[in-house]
A and B are shown apart, each in its own frame.
Chain A
Amino acid sequence: MLLYAVVPADAVPPDKRGLNDRNLETIRGGLAAVIVEESSEGLRPTGDESRAFAEIICDLATTTSVLPIRFPTMLPTRSAVLAELQANEAAWRRRLTELDGLAEVVIHVQEAEAVHELSSVPDGSGTAYLLNRATAIHRREASVAEISELVRALTREIKVLHPRQGVRLACLVADADVPQLRDAVSAWQEARSGRQALVSGPWPVFSFVGDRETVSK
């Protein structure tokens, strides 16, 4: 069984087909339910499959609150899914309630200057490299603090994600506050030349599904 998401026990997910072109099924417990698809073969998280999985989760999230399950997670039988559900449904239901009406947005900030410094070590000296690394890290930490402060009033939780470049923050935001957060980031960028800030989302709450994984404000 390929697992997609945890939803409230009384949720009525739309009829959809999954990655294996089979109908999604809902395995229900007393407090929560798990959306699954019959699947006997393992899946690899290729770009196309990950994207298709994400689209299904996004569609589900338009009809009910969801805790997305990390892709690709498979369990061998329905009874195994049910056992997992029974073991966790109280915590899952609690988190579903906490996250109802909230969405995740991701803020990217890239500082052109810092990147240039990193790439302009002329003589390959170790000291110069380390100094440049330290400068870049301090700038990054300062940007994280600045952006966090900027959006603090609009967010419930913030998690720092590992970026390829610059700064990347996942923010848990009320659906109604997403436009305001976008406007705040946009205004912040306009006031600071040399920085590119982008906001993606709103997404289902991939980064905030469990208390263990969250970084509180």
Chain B
Amino acid sequence: MSDAPQRWSDEQVALVDLIDRVIGGGVVISGDVVLGVAGVDLVYLGLRLVLAPAHEVEQSVALGRRSG
């Protein structure tokens, strides 16, 4: 991994921002998921459907450790 500066065009920055916000922002909905194998439902989970970029998960874990 390099820390070398990367100059992006306005269009590239805009596209990256938009996609980042689509999967990293927005309303989070609670939902239910059934996990199954070979068509047989095995586990029914009530959970919050949270998809976040890895860095946000890392930050949440770190904050949880600090407060815990």
Please give the residue numbers on chain A whose beta carbons come within 8 Å of chain B beta carbons, in ascending order: 3, 6, 45, 47, 50-51, 53-54, 57-58, 67-76, 80, 84, 92, 104, 106, 108, 110, 112, 115-116, 118-119, 161-162, 164-165, 170, 196, 198, 200-201, 203, 206-207, 209-210, 213
Chain A residue at smallest Cβ distance from B2: A119
- The residue that A207 contacts in the complex, of B6, B13, B21, B23, with Cβ under 8 A, is B21
Query: B37 at the A/B interface (Cβ < 8 Å)?
Result: no
- The residue that A200 contacts in the complex, of B18, B22, B56, with Cβ under 8 A, is B18
Query: B61 at the A/B interface (Cβ < 8 Å)?
Result: no
* Total contacting residues, chain B, CB less than 8 A: 34
Q: Contact between A71 and B5 (Cβ–Cβ < 8 Å)?
A: no
Cα-based distance from A213 to B59 in the complex (angstroms) = 14
Smallest beta-carbon distance B62→chain A, Å: 12
Which residues of chain B come closer than 8 Å to A118, judged between CB atoms? Answer: 3
Cα-based distance from A112 to B7 in the complex (angstroms) = 10
Q: Contact between B27 and A67 (Cβ–Cβ < 8 Å)?
A: yes
- The residue that A162 contacts in the complex, of B23, B28, B49, B53, with Cβ under 8 A, is B53
Cα-based distance from A116 to B5 in the complex (angstroms) = 8
Which residues of chain A come closer than 8 Å to B50, judged between CB atoms? Answer: 70
Which residues of chain A come closer than 8 Å to B56, judged between CB atoms? Answer: 162
